[in-house]
């Protein structure tokens, strides 16, 4: 064996997630939680509505996380977190960070009115949405986060989804909250940095984490990180921050965007797409990227 050298780790060593959870092989949501908890530390309380994570955590007398979790109703992730925070402040605890941890269905469709209310009141919570682009827990139904052209069980191949993904960051930016960021599990250092930054800011913070799902996307379990990284390099899911709804900052600057074909090819849910539709998706992605660049350059 070689000479031993000191190992340099790019992430905090604290480990608040245990093995033995119920996630699928190569789950992206699990990695998102692991990285977020590394950044947040022990002083944190989580509110989890019905989503994949309410199953991954384990059945009744068990839990796979070393932090307190409150399982709430589907549409109330944001208000539950706001209530927990208010309760903690009443008993004099001002250190604990309260995090609402919801999937894309609980954020984009069902929980949006509660989230909008909390953002308008500017309650002091972090709202984290891990986005696997469909209702994966109940068996891959379409949500408003599903991208154009994707197969799901409610949008079968003959009638695939013909509407684009909802632009959640723009909706949240219109609320003028202090901090909005997108992160990806393919870039863990960036994710940890953003969660740490959100922890320091007072007010409502919204984080959108891209988390691939191998069973739902019909991809191989070992490609999870590759897909997350490709989505950033294709500009399908660019990484940026918005402060007070106005100041845009781009985190990963792309010299040249990679073509979208490789990303679509390794996912079974896009296998039915014809060349015409792929060109259409590429145009949509280019338009969205141009819009983002305009926002970034305009706020300098």
Partner 1 sequence: MKKKKGAQKIVFKSEKDFPLMPMSIGSMLFNKTGAWRNIKPVINLEKCIQCGICWKFCPDVAIFIEKEWPVIDYEYCKGCGLCAEECPTKCIAMVEEEK
Residue 179: strand pairing partners: 205, 243
Q: Is 222 in the site for partner 1 (CB under 8 A)?
A: yes
Q: Which parts of 4-23 interact with partner 1 (CB under 8 A)? A: 4-11, 13, 15, 17-23
Give min distance, CB of 88 to partner 1, in A. 17
Task: Confirm if 181 and 242 have CB atoms less than 8 A apart.
Answer: yes
Residue 69 found at the interface with partner 1 (CB under 8 A): yes
Q: How far apart are CA 38 and CA 280, in angstroms?
A: 39
Reported in sequence order, the residue ranges of 76-184 that DSSP labels E, i.e. its strands, are: 97-102, 126-131, 179-184
Q: How far is the CB of 61 from partner 1 (least distance, A)?
A: 5
Residue (17 or 242) nearer to partner 1, CB: 17
- Judged by CB under 8 A, how many residues of this single chain contact partner 1? 43
Q: Does 31 sit near partner 1 (CB under 8 A)?
A: yes
Q: According to CB under 8 A, which residues from 197 to 216 bind partner 1? A: 214
The residue assigned the tokens 């992605």 is: 285
- At 275, is the secondary structure helix, strand, or coil? helix
Q: Quote the CA–CA distance of 181 and 198 in Å, as a whole number.
A: 9
Q: From the CB of 130, what's the least distance to partner 1, in Å?
A: 13
Binding residue for partner 1 (CB under 8 A) from 30, 143, 184, 219?
Answer: 30
Among 171, 225, 252, 292, binds partner 1 (CB under 8 A): 225
Shortest distance, position 133 Cβ to partner 1, whole Å? 18
x/- site string to partner 1, residues 92 to 131, per CB under 8 A?
----------------------------------------
Q: Which of these, 129, 131, 93, lies nearest to 205 by C-alpha position?
A: 129
Residues 123/47, Cβ–Cβ less than 8 Å? no
The two tokens of residue 117 are 């209310």
Our finding on whether 221 is near partner 1 (CB under 8 A) is yes
- For 249, the enclosing helix (H) or strand (E) is strand 247-250
Is residue 61 close enough to count as binding partner 1 by CB under 8 A? yes
Q: Which residues of 170-179 are buried (b: 16+ CB within 10 A; e: fewer)?
A: ebbbebebbb
Q: Where along the sequence are the contacts to partner 1 (CB under 8 A)?
A: 1-2, 4-11, 13, 15, 17-23, 25-28, 30-31, 34, 57-58, 60-64, 69, 188, 214, 220-226
């Amino acid at each position: 064996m070689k000479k031993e050298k000191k190992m340099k780790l790019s992430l905090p060593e604290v480990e608040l997630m245990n093995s033995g959870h119920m996630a699928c092989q190569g789950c992206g949501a699990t990695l998102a939680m692991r990285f977020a908890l590394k950044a947040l530390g022990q002083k944190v309380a989580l509110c989890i509505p019905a989503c994949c994570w309410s199953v991954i955590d384990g059945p009744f007398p068990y839990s796979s996380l070393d932090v307190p979790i409150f399982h709430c109703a589907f549409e109330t992730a944001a208000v539950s977190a706001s209530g927990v925070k208010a309760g903690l402040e009443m008993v004099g605890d001002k250190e604990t960070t309260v995090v609402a941890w919801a999937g894309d269905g609980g954020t984009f469709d069902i929980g949006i009115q509660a989230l909008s209310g909390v953002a308008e009141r500017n309650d002091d919570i972090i709202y984290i949405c891990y986005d696997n682009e469909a209702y994966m827990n109940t068996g891959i139904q379409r949500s408003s986060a599903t991208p154009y052209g994707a197969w799901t069980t409610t949008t079968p191949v003959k009638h695939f989804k013909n509407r684009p993904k909802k632009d959640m960051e723009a909706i949240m930016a219109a609320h003028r909250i202090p901090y909005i960021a997108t992160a990806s599990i393919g870039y863990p250092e960036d994710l940890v940095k953003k969660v740490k930054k959100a922890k320091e800011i007072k007010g409502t913070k919204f984080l959108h984490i891209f988390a691939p799902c191998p069973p739902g996307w019909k991809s191989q379990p070992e490609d999870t990180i590759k897909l997350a990284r490709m989505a950033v390099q294709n500009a399908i899911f660019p990484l940026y921050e918005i402060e007070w709804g106005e100041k845009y900052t781009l985190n990963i600057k792309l010299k040249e965007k990679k073509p979208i074909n490789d990303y679509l090819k390794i996912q079974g849910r896009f296998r039915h797409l014809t060349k015409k539709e792929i060109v259409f998706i590429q145009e949509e992605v280019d338009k969205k990227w141009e819009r983002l660049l305009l926002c970034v350059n305009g706020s300098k």
